[in-house]
Amino acid sequence: MNNFIYDRKKVIIGSSLESLLYAYMTDSSIFIKDPCVPFEFTRAKEDYSFLGFEEPPLEINVWNRLYILLSMGGLMLNPFEMQNWRREENKLIMITPQNKKIAIRSRSFKDFDELTDNYYVYDWFDAKSGGKHDLDSLENSEDEFISKIIFYKSKRPNINRTKDAVAISLLTGDKLNDLDYSEGIARLKTLDIMKSAGMRGTKNGVNKRGVPLYYALKIEHSFRETQPILKPNKTIKQIIKMKRKKEKMWNLTKDLFTLKTAST
């Protein structure tokens, strides 16, 4: 086994967007333990002009930009696939699929994220009838199981002018394997919320009196994603407010993306 040892002044161990942002703002090395990539439709509320965004971006775009900057700046410790990893006193040991051992030695390891027992659950559906409408989302404030449905332009091949759907839930760990919160129940509840909002299936002509007829709404469950909800050491707002030195990450961002404000 080939061994490589690298010394780092400070190492952040995290999974969240917050951990990447903290590493970026402090010019710290970061080891991504279990990537917790932001949901693709969540729009950021904070001002990210210092990263070159003119308008509030999607959080996944912020994640991708931070990942690129940290990697190019040599601060991303594991931009490659890992076979295994472990902690040993003042070292972090990584084993690559090629059976190479990489050791990161540091006097300061900071575990940035705390795991909670809450999870975001995303149930993705293909619309088979009723996918042509102008709705962007539906809210369900009465329950955290299917609390919101987002409609988006279908990504399926050869499907035009049709919106598929993703239903969002906030569940505790014990409910993940409970049949009452299964994919099948999620489909039925999503359909019920859509019907209650007045949504109907594909048009099916008119009756003798000229009243439009519709097929029943029909959606098929495509897949389910489960993402743990983490509790970072600092919030996005707290990190952005931190005093920032114009060092490696600042200069790299300036070179790759135009900084929008003189103060950054």
| Cα distance between residue 149 and residue 171, in whole Å | 15
**Do 102 and 159 lie in a common domain?**
no
pLDDT of amino acid 264? 41
Under-50 pLDDT residues of the chain: 261-264
198 in a domain, yes or no?
A: yes
**Do 32 and 87 lie in a common domain?**
yes
Strands (E), 67-197: 84-88, 91-95, 101-105, 109-111, 113-129, 137-139, 148-153, 163-172
CA 206 from chain center: how many Å?
Answer: 44
Expressed as residue numbers, the domain containing 216 is 117-228
**Do 127 and 106 lie in a common domain?**
no
> Where residue 140 sits, what CATH number does that domain have?
3.30.70
pLDDT of amino acid 2? 63
> What pTM did the predictor assign?
0.90
For 207, counting Cβ atoms within 10 Å of its Cβ (0-12 exposed, 13-18 middle, 19+ buried), the class is exposed
| Cα distance between residue 166 and residue 186, in whole Å | 10
Amino acid present at 69: L
Cβ atoms of 171 and 181 closer than 8 Å: yes
**Do 35 and 124 lie in a common domain?**
no
**Do 141 and 177 lie in a common domain?**
yes
**Do 16 and 106 lie in a common domain?**
yes
